[in-house]
Amino acid sequence: MRHVVVISTGGTIASRWQGDGYAAEAAGQEVLAAGAVPEGVDVRVVDLFTVNSSQLTTGHQLRLLHAVHEVLADPSVDGIVVTHGTDTLEESALFLDLFHSDRRPVVFTGAQKPLDAEDGDAAGNLYDALLTAATGRDIGAVIVFAGQVFAARGTVKKHTVDVRAFGDPDGLPLGRVEFGRVTWGRHRARPVPLPLPARDAVAPRVDVVMHHSDGDAVLFEAALGAGARGVVVVGTGAGNTNPEVAAAVGRAVRDGVLVAISTRVAAGAVTPLYTGGGAVDLAAAGAQLTGTLRPGQARIAVLAALLGAPSAEEAPETLRQVLAATPQALTRSDLYLVDRVGK
């Protein structure tokens, strides 16, 4: 018998109609009862909180992180399933993954259709997640959805309502769940985990600012004025802004703010190709390029670095270590070869 603990946090998988829209209200045991449990798996449910995931805060994520570590303190537990809303599932999954040191898996899942939908996806996703949690090893935190198993890092919600909601635009699934078993396709190396932050750690403010045509430094400066200790700049293309934003980034970095560069493009790595406020200048100003992490997960990387660094002065190096396991930009020689092959 394999022992799996389900930590329930709300989301669509726990939602019912409220008269003018859906909201999370069902307890974890109700969610579990909506479908079948794999043979040979014993399940215990922990109701941590019940919210729509768009309402989540770092405080919620810290509670979840510590709940996972408390559950795994029991050696009889083989794995954990976290039922979670899909809006911010990719953020919570990466957050836990960055602090996860146990061989046993933490499997995130949810649903795109509410609990009482006749054609709902909750039961199937939960069954697959339980199976993955019971049998997986050395996979860290993963996302199981619509029969696929994805590493937390790099996986994003790719569709607002379709049941095949998640994917990694720059990678393949780790495995698939079909015919009552998990088939593993590849192994992804696990990074060194960050030290666990205190349960009552004060969450630093980390903001996300998007660049666009006519973009300036006003919102970036506003984030700093609001007390942000970290800012993710969502660049155009391969991670580009303009000279005004690049200058503001340089001033912020000199003042001790952790600045990271992501992109609003759906796939591909942030790449230092362009000057004139592009990623070349942003990196020279002290910002860190986040590889293939999209904005939500880039923010989590900055947040985790601030929480996990031994001191504020060491946060930039901690972020570099976090990003080291993320696929990064092509080198100039790589780009030359791509160009030659393309011709």
Residue ranges at the known binding site for substrate? 53, 86-87
Rounded CA-CA distance 84/86 in Å is 6
Q: Cβ neighbours of residue 163 under 8 Å, at least 6 residues apart?
A: 112, 113, 121, 146
Q: In the structure encoding, which two tokens stand for residue 100, read together?
A: 């996860």
Phi then psi for residue 76, to 5 deg, are -80, -10
Rounded CA-CA distance 125/113 in Å is 11
Residues comprising the binding site?
A: 53, 86-87
Rounded CA-CA distance 181/265 in Å is 35
C-alpha torsion angle, residues 306, 231, 318, 296 (rounded to 10): 90
Rounded CA-CA distance 33/53 in Å is 21
- Catalytic, 86? Answer yes
State in Å, rounded, how far the first CA of the chain is from the last one.
58
Task: Please identify which residue in the block is written with the tokens 């999209």.
Answer: 294
Rounded CA-CA distance 1/150 in Å is 25
SS3 120: coil
User: Among 48, 46, 40, 33, which residue's Cα sits nearest to residue 3?
Assistant: 40
Cβ pair 125, 146 in contact under 8 A: yes
Single out the catalytic residue among 12, 135, 236, 326.
12
Q: Strands (DSSP E) along 11-64, which ranges?
A: 15-17, 22-24, 41-51
- Catalytic, 12? Answer yes
Single out the catalytic residue among 86, 271, 290, 292.
86
Checking 210-213 for CB contacts under 8 A at 24+ apart, the result is 210/234, 210/264, 210/295, 211/235, 211/236, 211/240, 211/241, 211/242, 211/245, 211/264, 212/236
State the catalytic residues: 12, 86
